[in-house]
């Protein structure tokens, strides 16, 4: 059973999830050329789109079923977590099959592993709530996971449209490269053809 204190949260999060899914469809239609390409990168874009949709659908389903009176939150959290785990395993297998697991896709793989952790925690919390219908701790954990789904889905959507990403690690790496290149004597330029 959902604690009364979480009712307004799930009401709001259901509304937010619906709006974000609608915006995601707009993002997908704007990025349709990138998703339809036959290149290897197109599969990454498709996985990002599906990951965002999975995160938002998880939040939507959990939120809407939490609003139905009765003991629906636990079973719903479990069912959605199992379908989310199936998506993540399928995505990882897709990356492996297409030989796309590399340093360039590491961030996508880490996100997928993070989704595995999220869905496993949601599955355990949902099972706990299904067994013990009054478990505020499990309900709170599921509510927090809904927020995490929103944040992850928004991040995936941002990457899907090709928006610029500026992060601490990337900026430090760029500064180090710039400094390293500035410290080289002018005659020590690396010839790109020399590695062939």
Backbone angles phi, psi at 110, to 5 degrees: -65, -40
Rounded to an integer, the average pLDDT of 3-31 is 88
Give SS3 for 89: helix
Q: Which of 41-50, 95-104, 157-166 has the highest mean pLDDT?
A: 41-50
State pLDDT tens for residues 47-83. Answer: 888 888 999 999 999 999 999 888 788 999 999 999 9
Q: Is the pLDDT of residue 150 over 50?
A: yes
Compute the distance between CA of residue 82 and CA of residue 187 in angstroms, rounded to an integer.
Answer: 59
**Alpha helix stretches (DSSP H) within the chain:** 7-30, 32-36, 40-67, 73-97, 106-131, 136-160, 168-183
- How much is the pLDDT for 143? 93
pLDDT band at 183 (very low <50, low <70, confident <90, very high): low
Q: Is the pLDDT of residue 135 over 70?
A: yes
Compute the distance between CA of residue 155 and CA of residue 147 in angstroms, rounded to an integer.
Answer: 13
Lowest mean per-residue pLDDT among 18-22, 48-52, 160-164: 160-164
């Amino acid at each position: 059973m959902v604690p009364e204190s979480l009712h307004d949260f799930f009401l709001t999060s259901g509304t937010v999830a619906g709006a974000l899914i609608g915006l995601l469809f707009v993002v997908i239609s704007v990025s349709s050329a990138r998703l339809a390409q036959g290149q290897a990168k197109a599969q990454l874009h498709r996985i990002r789109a599906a990951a965002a949709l999975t995160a938002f659908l998880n939040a939507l389903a959990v939120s809407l079923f939490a609003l139905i009176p009765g003991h629906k939150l636990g079973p719903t959290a479990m069912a959605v977590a199992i379908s989310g785990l199936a998506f993540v395993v399928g995505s990882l297998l897709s990356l492996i099959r297409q030989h796309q697991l590399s340093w360039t896709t590491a961030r996508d793989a880490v996100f997928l592993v993070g989704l595995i952790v999220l869905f496993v925690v949601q599955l355990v919390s949902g099972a706990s709530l299904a067994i013990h219908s009054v478990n505020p701790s499990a309900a709170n954990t599921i509510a927090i996971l809904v927020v995490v789904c929103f944040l992850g889905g928004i991040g995936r959507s941002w990457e899907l449209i090709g928006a610029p990403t500026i992060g601490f690690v990337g900026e430090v790496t760029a500064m180090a490269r710039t400094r390293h290149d500035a410290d080289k004597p002018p005659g020590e330029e690396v010839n790109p053809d020399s590695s062939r």
